[in-house]
A and B are shown apart, each in its own frame.
Chain A
């Protein structure tokens, strides 16, 4: 069997445009998921029972059900329940944010617990309020500690964002599939898509390694 890249060649720019789409889903959801995950983590360590209960129940639901199911539920259930026609983009961002928030919150909680208790005591003893102490003293240290897990979380999300193609999001995978069915060539476009994902993951990994080194020396 021979690979026929020549016939796919004109469609490569079209597939490449999917990189932006994939990165947009990953980046935006990661950012929002990080904020939401931080809130959830703060709920988990708070002394307010309702918040504690809510956040641990929330986390167990989002970790305990398939992401694809969550995506489909949100995409199909929201119009049916609220009458609002949700776009593919909105459904994707919402699902990935809610889902990654659950995972990230566990990391952040672990990070906060790993910061020496004396740090909060020192901050409080200076009259610094709990919110400021959290934001400026504890969280920066916690995030440094969990940086490797956050990177692997973002790599997971990058790969899982391919699920958006199931509901029609024009990401790398979906575009490769479209090219494939147009040209009746499956192997080549998928190979290109696979290569692109691999390169993106490698760039992320490398970037994280450099960042970690930098943090270690500072």
Chain B
């Protein structure tokens, strides 16, 4: 379970998050939506401390990760992340990308790691790309490899930051299919997305962010049928 308590974040004099509180139960799929610049990425990146909140508390599994002495490395092994720009390591093969962290962080034996890596790459449909270098993969293949890389650490939570926004339209579907296959398998998923159809289909809960505020926190069906706030309503009218 993830708990946010009054998260504020400023970059210099610009306040990007203006007091966000919320609760994400274990195994839930949460979609964060909202206009561009509303603070979605910043909020997401706070959960694995790629951004350090200016104030407020974040708990993951009852551990306060924003405390001074918190073990950030350990937190990050529990919280995986998939980026808009994939961020695969270009000088490593797809398989090496997937098994590097299990080898170095979990100290897994190489043989075991390779078996795990190949299994995960097969799961995301990249069985025959095991020895390929990322520059030779298509966008969709890159993102699927990045998902396999995040899964290799067996995280309890995966954060997705607009996982399909950098893809050519014809590759969006293959990536969304892979993400869908992970939903409701026990892993908690937090997805920042502009794909409203996808959010509606996959998410249990929707957070609607606007100008650094969590304007609406609703169950997905309810949100899309009848948003509580005016701002959410007009946002939906614009994007649907």
A contact set with B: CB distance below 8 Å: 116, 118-119, 121-129, 132, 136-137, 140-141, 144, 218
B90 within 8 A of A: yes
A128-B100 in contact (CB<8A)? yes
Output the nearest chain A residue to B97 by Cβ-Cβ distance. Answer: A122
Chain A contacts for B104, CB-based, 8 A: 128, 132, 136
B89-A126 in contact (CB<8A)? no
Output the nearest chain A residue to B101 by Cβ-Cβ distance. Answer: A126
A-B contact count (CB 8 A): 58
B87-A116 in contact (CB<8A)? yes
A127-B83 in contact (CB<8A)? no
B73-A125 in contact (CB<8A)? no
Instruction: Report how far A116 CA is from B90 CA in the complex, Å.
Output: 11
In the complex where A128-B100, A128-B101, A136-B100 touch, is A122 in contact with B76 (Cβ < 8 A)?
Answer: no
Chain A contacts for B225, CB-based, 8 A: none
Q: Which of A125, A132, A141 has the most CB of B within 10 A?
A: A125
B153 within 8 A of A: yes
Output the nearest chain A residue to B91 by Cβ-Cβ distance. Answer: A140
- Classify the interface of chain A: helix, strand, loop or mixed: helix
Chain A contacts for B38, CB-based, 8 A: none
Output the nearest chain A residue to B84 by Cβ-Cβ distance. Answer: A118
Output the nearest chain A residue to B135 by Cβ-Cβ distance. Answer: A218
Chain A contacts for B91, CB-based, 8 A: 140-141, 144
A127-B50 in contact (CB<8A)? no
Instruction: Report how far A140 CA is from B153 CA in the complex, Å.
Output: 23
19 extra interface residue pairs, beta carbon distance < 8 Å, beyond A136-B104, A140-B91: A116-B85, A116-B87, A118-B85, A122-B88, A124-B50, A124-B76, A125-B48, A125-B50, A125-B76, A125-B150, A126-B76, A126-B80, A126-B100, A126-B101, A126-B105, A127-B77, A127-B153, A128-B100, A128-B101
Instruction: Report how far A132 CA is from B73 CA in the complex, Å.
Output: 12
B133 within 8 A of A: yes
A-B contact pairs, 18 of them (CB 8 A): A118-B87, A121-B50, A121-B87, A122-B83, A122-B87, A122-B88, A122-B146, A124-B76, A125-B48, A125-B50, A125-B80, A126-B76, A126-B101, A126-B153, A127-B74, A127-B101, A136-B100, A141-B91
B contact set with A: CB distance below 8 Å: 48, 50, 73-74, 76-77, 79-81, 83, 85, 87-91, 100-101, 104-105, 133, 146, 149-150, 153
Instruction: Report how far A123 CA is from B90 CA in the complex, Å.
Output: 12
A126-B83 in contact (CB<8A)? no
Chain B contacts for A122, CB-based, 8 A: 81, 83, 87-89, 146
Q: Which of A116, A118, A123, A126 has the most CB of B within 10 A?
A: A126
Instruction: Report how far A83 CA is from B88 CA in the complex, Å.
Output: 54
State the Cβ distance, B70 to closest chain A Cβ, in Å: 13
Chain A contacts for B76, CB-based, 8 A: 124-127
Chain B contacts for A127, CB-based, 8 A: 73-74, 76-77, 101, 105, 153
Instruction: Report how far A114 CA is from B91 CA in the complex, Å.
Output: 15
Instruction: Report how far A116 CA is from B81 CA in the complex, Å.
Output: 17
Instruction: Report how far A123 CA is from B87 CA in the complex, Å.
Output: 9
Chain A contacts for B133, CB-based, 8 A: 218
Chain B contacts for A126, CB-based, 8 A: 76-77, 80, 100-101, 105, 149-150, 153
Chain B contacts for A124, CB-based, 8 A: 50, 76
Instruction: Report how far A137 CA is from B100 CA in the complex, Å.
Output: 10
State the Cβ distance, A49 to closest chain B Cβ, in Å: 20
B87-A119 in contact (CB<8A)? yes
Output the nearest chain B residue to A141 by Cβ-Cβ distance. Answer: B91
Give me the 5 closest cross-chain CB pairs, A-B, nearest first. Answer: A127-B77, A122-B87, A118-B87, A126-B101, A125-B81
Instruction: Report how far A121 CA is from B48 CA in the complex, Å.
Output: 10
Instruction: Report how far A197 CA is from B85 CA in the complex, Å.
Output: 47
Output the nearest chain B residue to A215 by Cβ-Cβ distance. Answer: B91
B50-A137 in contact (CB<8A)? no
Q: Which of A119, A123, A127 has the most CB of B within 10 A?
A: A127
Instruction: Report how far A87 CA is from B149 CA in the complex, Å.
Output: 53
Instruction: Report how far A116 CA is from B87 CA in the complex, Å.
Output: 8
Chain B contacts for A141, CB-based, 8 A: 90-91
